[in-house]
């Protein structure tokens, strides 16, 4: 049996924060605001995996009211989710994701993002797709106010 999950995340861009996407520190004059490192890509993938297996969401498992998650790498959260999946004897078939960002251009960092996500989930990189697009100047992404990401995952149940 297979299950599909979808995830979405968005964060505001602010000065004096690192921009982290898929665990990659991307050079930019702004970063994403959040309790953790605000990695929208890792958050969308994590929520897709959790939703797929009816395990809640990131806010439930890693609440922003808990100081131990302050500025934590979202790849650590993703790794924790991957361990839960393995413990259940389920397996991740694939991850498909897209980052919505007007600037900066992300193509140089996509391969590293894919590898980081794959490493965090302990799957082969060829099972992870990361894409990036703009919104052609429309909405909060297009105006440079924030970034967002979507992810869809397929998981094979081990039970």
The CA distances from residue 27 to 79, 104, 108, 109, in Å, are: 24, 8, 11, 10
pLDDT, one tens digit per residue, over 53-105 is: 999 999 999 988 888 889 899 999 999 999 999 999 999 999 999 999 999 99
pLDDT, one tens digit per residue, over 23-67 is: 999 999 999 999 999 999 999 999 999 999 999 999 999 988 888
For domain 2-156, the CATH architecture is 2-Layer Sandwich (3.30)
pLDDT, one tens digit per residue, over 109-157 is: 999 999 999 999 999 999 999 999 999 999 999 999 999 999 999 999 9
């Amino acid at each position: 049996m297979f299950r599909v999950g979808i995830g979405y995340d968005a964060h505001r861009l602010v000065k004096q924060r690192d921009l982290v996407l898929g665990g990659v520190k991307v050079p930019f004059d702004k970063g994403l605001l959040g309790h953790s490192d605000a990695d929208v890509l890792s958050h969308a993938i994590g929520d897709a995996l959790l939703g797929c297996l009816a395990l809640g969401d990131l806010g439930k498992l890693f609440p922003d009211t808990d100081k131990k998650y302050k500025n934590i790498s979202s790849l650590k959260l993703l790794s924790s989710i991957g361990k839960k999946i393995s413990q259940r004897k389920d397996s991740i078939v694939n991850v498909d994701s897209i980052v919505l960002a007007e600037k900066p251009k992300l193509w140089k960092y996509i391969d590293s993002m894919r590898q980081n996500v794959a490493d965090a989930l302990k799957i082969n990189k060829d099972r992870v797709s990361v894409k990036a697009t703009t919104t052609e100047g429309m909405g909060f992404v297009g105006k440079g106010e924030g970034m967002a990401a979507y992810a869809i995952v397929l998981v094979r149940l081990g039970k």
